[in-house]
Structures are given as structure tokens and as C-alpha cells.
Amino acid sequence: MQAQLKEILERDGIWTAVQDYVSTRSSDHTTISDILDGEEYRKLKEPGGFLADKNNITFSLFTDGIPLFQSSKVSLWPVYMILNELPPKQRFTRKNMVLWGIWQGCGKPQMNMFLRPLVEDLSQLFQRGIEVNIQQTEIRTRAMMIVATMDLQARAYVLQMTQHNGEHGCLYCLEPGKVVKSGKGNCRSYPYRDVDPEPRTKENIKSDAQEAIASGKRVHGINSESVLSCLPYFDVTTNVVIDYMHGILLGILKKLMSLWFDSKNSKEPFYIGKRVDEVDSIIKTIQPPYFLRRLPRKINGNYNHWKASEFRSWLLYFSLPALQNILPDIYLTHYSLLVEGTFILLGEGISEADLRRADLLLRTFVRNLNLLYRDSIVGLNAHNLIHLTRCVRMWGPLWAWSCFVFRVLQWRNKEVHSWYWKCLQADILVPSVPEKGRGNGSSMQRRPTQRLLPVYD
């Protein structure tokens, strides 16, 4: 990781771009346009803070499990880091990202074992930093990982928590949720409360983890301590954020569309499946904004296979005009709360008034969700909306730390696999942890630095 970071920082113009971008941030602190304007980021710049030294930098971390090939049982878990102080255009290009490592194997990695070397690397970068040569001058730069983004499933594994359908699945508060009927089975629902549940803190998570380890039983949804808590500066309730791509687009929005268009709901007042062709033809007539690279395909027969970017275009630009006079007014008005709330939090120049409005819109959306639809729709993704504005206040707009930054979904077949093979050649792949009854990983455990070959089932 140090070598990759050094190579990036010493590349022509990168160090200057970092310094320029940081120095041009507005000092009025009244609006939020990027992660550098977030409340928590600005705290680091205060006298005595980590970023008071202008040579220091910060990372955001992203990880997710993806299948090695379609329908493969073998999955890859890449861990990427991006440099927050680069201007967005450079920040999100592939050549400026650090690929810390990739785990491969059946199922999921034992996260604490997988991420322990990462925590060691990050500790070294935080304490000692690295020397970089910028225009014949040696500069010492230290780095800190300030944001970690992942979907709910990965987050539960990484943070040693219960999954999103378990009791106390929220990372930010102690709402236990309740079990409700969903189809032929059950699921967990998080009812909206006028007074927010007690928040989680670094301290109460640590004490729950210690109690869980001692008793062998989960406490408030916590199974054990996450290796990330070994980073002295890291507080999971602050530094782990909610990814809107998974939570809103592939979560809530997709669920709403299945309620509206799936014939299973034909008796419901919100069902509009019979008018789906009408909606599709309205979309066709809309002149899209010039910056949209991907227009949504037809809803009819397709929306279940939409990519996240299609859901994003539909949410922000097409859905409200297309659903007007088709979705009953009360449902359309309610849905528009989600559209506007998300739109505000994706913006540039988000003011305090914008933050308050977005929070109100999203809370009103959640409060009415089960009244208009059903209890089962208020899962953890919907509940997270009450915590979303806080994430933006702390770390800037949703786009600055969403999983979109890696276009991971588009990389599955190309980039990740090509990087995977490069990693094999470079010996930077993290060894697979053997599962019970599987022999193929045991040799790797004994010889963790040996080159790992892919396992095909």
C-alpha cells in the first residue's frame, strides 16, 4: 500500500493538485460541496489536528463481495482506498486509487483476520507516514482513513454485527426493530419514532463487544470487536457511512418499484403495473439532461436488472414526471419526499437550511412509509434515512463517498478481474481463510505470504 501511495503522490502534478485543491476550499464553512467541507473533516484541520500539517492526507475505504464469475460460488473481496484531497475528477480515476488487497474464496472472509494487515498498514501511515520525493524535495506525509463505505451485508461482517434483519441491526442507534410478516415469512421492521432511539457510541459499542465476547452471546446486535477499532482515531459510528447507492437506489427505490409494478400487488391501491407501458412511453418523450450517460431502460420486464446508475437517473430526473397522473397523488407526494431529500444531499453547496430540509423530508418519508404501504418495507435501508443527513453534515455530499465512486458494478467483469490477476503476479493477494471442513485454504494459513492461486469449484 505504501508503495502504491508513493507512486501516486510522486506522479507528475498530483502533489500540486492535492495542495491546490485543499488551499482553494472555502473558509466560510456555510456550505458543503465536498468531503473537505464536512464538519468532521474541518475538525481535523483545526490547530493541533491531524490536517493542521498540510502535508498530511486522508483516505476513504471501500469494500464489497463480488462473484469471481457469474453464478460462481467463489467471491472476491477487493479493498480500495481513494485519496480525498485530490480534486474529484482525478480522485475517482482508476489510476489514482490504491488497491490494498483482494480476498478470494467461497463465502466471505473472516473479516478481522483479512483486515488486520490493513489496520497495521494504516497505523504505520498514521504514525510514521512515508517519504515522498516531490520535485527533488523529500516530504514526509502521514495518512488517515477517515471514511469507510460498504453495503449493509459487508458492514455487518466487517463490524462484527448482526445482519440487517437481526435485532439491533442499526449501526447508529439502539433501535431493536420488530419482527413483522413479509410474504410467507418474516422480516425485521424499524418503526419510525418521534424521539430518536438512544445513539450508539464508540464506548457503548466497545462495552457491548466485550460483554458479547465474555458471555458468548450477541449484545445489542454486537458479536465481537471489529479490528477497525484498533485504529486509535477510528469511531465506527462516525467514520462508517451509509452508502446511498446500495441503500436508496438498489434498496428502497427498487422495493418501491416492485410494489408499484409487480402483479402480486394488483389488489393494492398503489399498484400501477397495468400502466407500465404508459410510464415507459412517457420516459421516452423526456429530453434527458446532457450529463446523463445512461438512460434507464424500459421498466417493463427490465427494472429488476437495472444498474444502479439507471435507478439514479429514474429517481432524480424521470420518475416524478413519468408517474404524474398515474401513481395516486398521495403515493406520488410521499415518494417525492425521497426524491427531493436525496437530490439535496447529492448537491454541491449544501447549506444548513438544505440539511434541515433534507432531514425533514426523509424523516417524513420514513414516518409514513408503513402507513401507506406495509410494515415490511421499513427495513434497515429505510431506517438509515433518519441518519443520512448526519453523515452528509460530517463528511459532505452523498456522491463523495458512495460506492459509485468505483463504478464497482461496471468493473465486475473487467477491471476487478484484471487487477486480480495483476495482484496474483505481484503477490499482494491476501490469503484465503479456510472454512471448516475445507482443506484448500489450510496451506495458505500456514504460509500466509505464499502466492495464492485461484480456487475453482
Query: Residues in the site for Zn ion, rule: CB under 5 A?
Result: 170, 172-173, 175
Q: Which is nearer to Zn ion, 91 or 387 (CB)?
A: 387
Taking the complex as a whole, the smallest distance from the CB of residue 400 to Zn ion amounts, in Å, to 22
Q: How far apart are CA 348 and CA 86, in angstroms?
A: 17
CB 407 within 8 A of CB 436: no
Q: How far apart are CA 414 and CA 122, in angstroms?
A: 28
Q: Which is nearer to Zn ion, 179 or 330 (CB)?
A: 179
Q: How far apart are CA 345 and CA 362, in angstroms?
A: 11
Nearest to 82 by CA among 413, 405, 307, 364: 405
CB 149 within 8 A of CB 175: no
Amino acid (1-letter code) at residue 141: T
Q: Which is nearer to Zn ion, 173 or 250 (CB)?
A: 173
Taking the complex as a whole, the smallest distance from the CB of residue 175 to Zn ion amounts, in Å, to 5
SS3 label, residue 3: helix
Q: Which is nearer to Zn ion, 175 or 310 (CB)?
A: 175
Q: Which is nearer to Zn ion, 170 or 346 (CB)?
A: 170
Q: How far apart are CA 210 and CA 245, in angstroms?
A: 33
Taking the complex as a whole, the smallest distance from the CB of residue 390 to Zn ion amounts, in Å, to 10
Taking the complex as a whole, the smallest distance from the CB of residue 13 to Zn ion amounts, in Å, to 43
Helices assigned H by DSSP within 34-110: 39-45, 88-91
Q: Can you read off the three cell numbers belonging to residue 6?
A: 508513493
Which residue has 436488472 as its cell numbers? Answer: 305
74 phi-psi bin (left φ>0, alpha ψ -120 to 50, beta other) = beta
Cβ-based neighbours of 320, under 8 Å, separated by 6 or more = 332, 335, 336, 339
Q: Which is nearer to Zn ion, 161 or 170 (CB)?
A: 170
Q: Can you read off the three cell numbers belonging to residue 87?
A: 480534486
Q: Can you read off the three cell numbers belonging to residue 331?
A: 403515493
96 CB neighbour count, 10 Å cutoff = 17
Rounded to 5 degrees, what are φ and ψ at 247?
-75, -50
Nearest to 247 by CA among 366, 99, 364, 89: 366
Q: Which is nearer to Zn ion, 37 or 175 (CB)?
A: 175
Taking the complex as a whole, the smallest distance from the CB of residue 247 to Zn ion amounts, in Å, to 12
Taking the complex as a whole, the smallest distance from the CB of residue 386 to Zn ion amounts, in Å, to 6
Taking the complex as a whole, the smallest distance from the CB of residue 380 to Zn ion amounts, in Å, to 8
Taking the complex as a whole, the smallest distance from the CB of residue 200 to Zn ion amounts, in Å, to 8
Q: Can you read off the three cell numbers belonging to residue 209?
A: 463487544
CB 164 within 8 A of CB 188: yes
Q: Which is nearer to Zn ion, 175 or 359 (CB)?
A: 175
Taking the complex as a whole, the smallest distance from the CB of residue 202 to Zn ion amounts, in Å, to 16
Nearest to 301 by CA among 264, 262, 336: 262
Taking the complex as a whole, the smallest distance from the CB of residue 173 to Zn ion amounts, in Å, to 3
Q: Which is nearer to Zn ion, 219 or 430 (CB)?
A: 219
Q: Which is nearer to Zn ion, 9 or 170 (CB)?
A: 170
